[in-house]
């Protein structure tokens, strides 16, 4: 038994050193160019634990701080069981994102595949990804053109905020998750919060989310194993909804105007791909958007001038409308300062710290070699917080966006290139409409000094408790 254990350790170490020689010294020997500076850290684990060490999401954390000052903005390391090039450089990040499937490719850790499944758009590559993505983009265009799209979002915001009127304290993260979940379930499956399927999907979905960020041990009872099971239960629920829709047909009276209705008419996707598609939309559209909402509200709470300007913008928009009239696209387009607040919350708060890629070929960048097969991590937050690119980078300053192009290389909160987030507009509309009703009906104060932490997924440790006070306008 003991001999077996030591043999296993020996094999691991040999594997590690063999990998090190092949990956580290061979390129030098073959004169492909020097590797970026850096160190591989411990055998097997490398520097993964230090890299994942939590830190406030509006900072780059001590690991990146230390490594960038020692080795520069591009350095090598050993992360997630693979030799890795980490990039905190805006040009290299942009180059990586723009060369998807040519020089680099999306490459999420295996356990994520285990939970999402290989046909998930979030992890699929090559032609499968292209096909899924084309359907996603056409679905987004068609759903946005529907008149109920905006009204459904606004009604959900009004309903959540309505439930605050008699309360003095709320846990904002919980409320924001309720809001984004209700919006996405309505948009995708046409379900309202009081339908039994909604509660069932939410329960499974929460288990699923916990597993995504847990230790990937497929042993019965672990969060990872429970997540895999929860995913298969959500699939069954979605399949049952699809079957029910087919059985009833899509006559005029059965039209719900949701994603699923359009999806059912798409011939280029198999049944399993359709189910996986629904899961991707739920997953992509839930946590990210609610975290961004929480960050916007948190940073606004610390910037009374920005809050006053935001309130004024929404009061002006409301003053042009009849009492109770819903917002439309024209109103949304008038929300210039709101857009600046959202962009600044994205830049300063960093919902997604980095994305996972691997090099498909040997790539030369500024004389350095990024060897084929290595992991490549473009760190989006490092560019957002780089003081040489953004004046007063460590300040929440929404006014910077009055003169700065939001579609620039130094601002990529939704990724870039052919994997750029298809839900970015939906997320922004949700937040803008929620803020519209929040600032006109409530005063709030954050309690307990909670702040957003990157684990790297972003979380407010105590759920962001708010003291709220309702006032009538
Ligand atoms: C604040 C909100 C959001 C942020 C910060 C965000 C961020 C991102 C980022 C950085 C990526 C690129 C991942 C990569 O390159 O590997 C991405 C992809 C994706 N997002 Fe979002 N997202 C948000 C909201 C949404 C919403 C509302 C939806 C769906 C309704 C969504 C669905 C997706 C999907 C399906 C992908 C995969 C796209 C592909 O691989 O082609 N996201 N998101």
Q: What is the pLDDT of residue 173?
A: 95
Residues 299, 348 contacting (CB under 8 angstroms): yes
- Copy the structure tokens of residue 118: 């290989």
What is the Å distance from ligand 1's center to 200 Cα?
24
pLDDT in tens, 431-452: 999 999 999 999 999 888 899 9
Residue 321: which pLDDT band, with cuts at 50, 70 and 90?
A: very high
What CA–CA distance (Å, rounded) separates 205 from 227? 8
What CA–CA distance (Å, rounded) separates 378 from 77? 13
| Mean pLDDT, rounded, for 408-434 | 95
The ligand 1 atom nearest the CA atom of 417:
15
Residues 45, 83 contacting (CB under 8 angstroms): no
The ligand 1 atom nearest the CA atom of 419:
41
What is the Å distance from ligand 1's center to 63 Cα?
26
| CA-based torsion, 383, 384, 388, 394: positive or negative | negative
Where in 346-448 does DSSP place strands (E)?
Answer: 357-359, 363-365, 368-370, 375-378, 442-446
Residues 293, 434 contacting (CB under 8 angstroms): yes
Q: Which of 174, 226, 175, 179 is nearest to 205 (CA)?
A: 226
Q: What is the pLDDT of residue 452?
A: 95
Query: Ligand 1, from 423, 429, 432, 458: best to mutate by most atoms within 8 Å of Cβ?
Result: 423
| CA-based torsion, 141, 149, 123, 409: positive or negative | positive
- Copy the structure tokens of residue 163: 């439930």
pLDDT in tens, 29-53: 555 678 999 999 998 889 999 999 9
Strands 74-79 and 82-87: antiparallel
What is the Å distance from ligand 1's center to 122 Cα?
8
Report the first-to-last Cα separation within the chain, whole angstroms.
74
> Is it the case that residue 180 has pLDDT exceeding 90?
yes
Residue 23: which pLDDT band, with cuts at 50, 70 and 90?
A: low
Q: Which of 114, 133, 122, 73 is nearest to 377 (CA)?
A: 73
The response to whether residue 133 sits with its C-beta less than 6 Å from ligand 1 reads: yes
Contacts of 466 (CB under 8 A, 6+ apart): 169, 170, 171, 172, 297, 444, 445, 446, 447
Residue 143: which pLDDT band, with cuts at 50, 70 and 90?
A: confident
> Is it the case that residue 4 has pLDDT exceeding 90?
no
What is the Å distance from ligand 1's center to 249 Cα?
32
Q: What is the pLDDT of residue 199?
A: 85
């Amino acid at each position: 038994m003991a001999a077996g254990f030591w043999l296993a350790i020996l094999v691991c170490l040999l594997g590690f050193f063999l990998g090190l020689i092949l990956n580290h010294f061979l390129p030098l020997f073959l004169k492909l160019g020097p590797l970026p500076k850096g160190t591989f850290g411990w055998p097997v684990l490398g520097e993964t634990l230090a890299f994942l060490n939590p830190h406030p999401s509006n900072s780059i954390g001590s690991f990146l701080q230390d490594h960038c000052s020692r080795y520069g903005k591009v350095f090598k390391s050993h992360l997630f069981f693979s030799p890795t090039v980490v990039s905190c450089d805006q040009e290299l990040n942009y180059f990586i994102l723009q060369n998807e499937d040519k020089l680099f490719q999306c490459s999420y850790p295996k356990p994520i595949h285990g939970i999402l499944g290989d046909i998930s758009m979030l992890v699929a590559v090559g032609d499968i990804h292209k096909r899924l993505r084309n359907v996603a983009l056409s679905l987004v265009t068609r759903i946005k053109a529907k008149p109920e799209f905006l009204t459904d979002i606004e009604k959900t915001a009004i309903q959540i905020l309505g439930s605050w009127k008699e309360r003095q304290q709320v846990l904002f993260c919980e409320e924001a998750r309720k809001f984004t979940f209700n919006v996405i379930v309505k948009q995708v499956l046409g379900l309202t919060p009081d339908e039994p399927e909604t509660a069932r999907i939410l329960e499974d979905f929460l288990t699923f989310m916990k597993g995504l960020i847990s230790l990937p041990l497929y042993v019965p009872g672990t969060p990872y194993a429970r997540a895999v099971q929860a995913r298969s239960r959500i699939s069954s629920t979605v399949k049952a909804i699809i079957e029910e829709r087919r059985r009833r047909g899509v006559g005029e009276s059965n039209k719900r105007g949701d994603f699923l209705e359009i999806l059912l008419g798409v011939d280029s996707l198999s049944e399993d791909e359709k189910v996986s598609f629904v899961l991707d939309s739920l997953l992509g559209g839930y946590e990210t958007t609610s975290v961004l909402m929480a960050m916007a509200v948190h940073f606004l709470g610390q910037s009374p001038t920005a809050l006053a300007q935001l309130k004024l913008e929404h009061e002006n928009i409301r003053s042009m409308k009849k009492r109770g009239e819903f917002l439309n696209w024209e109103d949304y387009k008038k929300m210039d300062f709101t857009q600046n607040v959202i962009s600044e919350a994205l830049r300063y708060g960093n919902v997604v710290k980095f994305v996972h890629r691997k090099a498909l070929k040997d790539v030369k960048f500024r004389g350095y070699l990024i060897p084929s097969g290595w992991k490549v991590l473009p760190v989006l937050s490092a560019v957002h917080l780089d003081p040489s690119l953004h004046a007063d980078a460590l300040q929440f300053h929404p006014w910077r966006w009055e003169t700065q192009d939001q579609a620039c290389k130094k601002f990529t909160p939704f990724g870039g290139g052919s994997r750029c987030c298809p839900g970015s507009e939906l997320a922004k509309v949700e937040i803008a409409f929620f803020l519209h009703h929040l600032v006109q009906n409530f005063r709030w104060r954050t309690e307990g000094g909670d702040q957003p932490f990157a684990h790297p997924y972003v979380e407010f440790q105590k759920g962001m408790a708010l003291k709220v006070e309702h006032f009538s306008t």
